[in-house]
Amino acid sequence: MLGLWVVMIFIIVQFIAMKIKIISIFVNYCQRAGIRKT
């Protein structure tokens, strides 16, 4: 049962990390686009 919890927590952490990575890439892209516009 403990192993299942560890796996679930690991999957959740990986999912959050992936979301943060995608958001950071999107923000960087928006900032570059904004700099180019101005």
Domain boundaries, the chain: 11-38
pTM, rounded to two decimals: 0.62
For every residue of the chain, which 3-state class applies, written as one string?
CHHHHHHHHHHHHHHHHHHHHHHHHHHHHHHHHHHHHC
pLDDT at 33: 87
Residues 23 and 38: their CA atoms lie apart, in Å, by 22
Percentage of the chain exceeding pLDDT 70 = 95
Query: pLDDT at residue 24 above 90?
Result: yes
How distant is the alpha carbon of residue 3 from its chain centre?
Answer: 25
Mean pLDDT score, 9-35: 95
pLDDT at 38: 64
